[in-house]
Amino acid sequence: MNNEQKGMRYPSIDQLLDKTTSKYRLVMAVAKRALEIEAKKTTYMEQPSNKKSIGLALEEINEDKVLIK
């Protein structure tokens, strides 16, 4: 399913806030994972909806491929 079918912002902030106790932790985790994706040019998603590293990091967290400590 592509982004147009899911809306402009996938995954939504409401879905992601269930993954951590604070927005700050979420932002830090997404930023760190996005940098890793940029450096390694790889993702844990088989068929991601997003193309940019931030979107990929958000998807990975939403799908529990990356856990926030």
Contact (Cβ atoms closer than 8 angstroms) between residue 17 and residue 26: yes
C-alpha to C-alpha distances, 25 to 2, 29, 43, 68, nearest whole angstrom? 27, 6, 20, 8
Rounded CA separation 29/27 (Å): 6
Mean pLDDT for 39-63 is 94
Report yes or no: 26 and 16 within 8 Å, Cβ to Cβ: yes
Could you tell me if 61 and 68 are in contact, meaning their C-beta atoms sit under 8 angstroms apart?
A: yes
Residue 53 binned pLDDT confidence (cut-offs 50, 70, 90) = very high
Q: In the structure, what pLDDT confidence band is assigned to residue 69 with cuts at 50, 70 and 90?
A: confident
pLDDT at site 15: 87
Domain ranges of the chain: 3-62
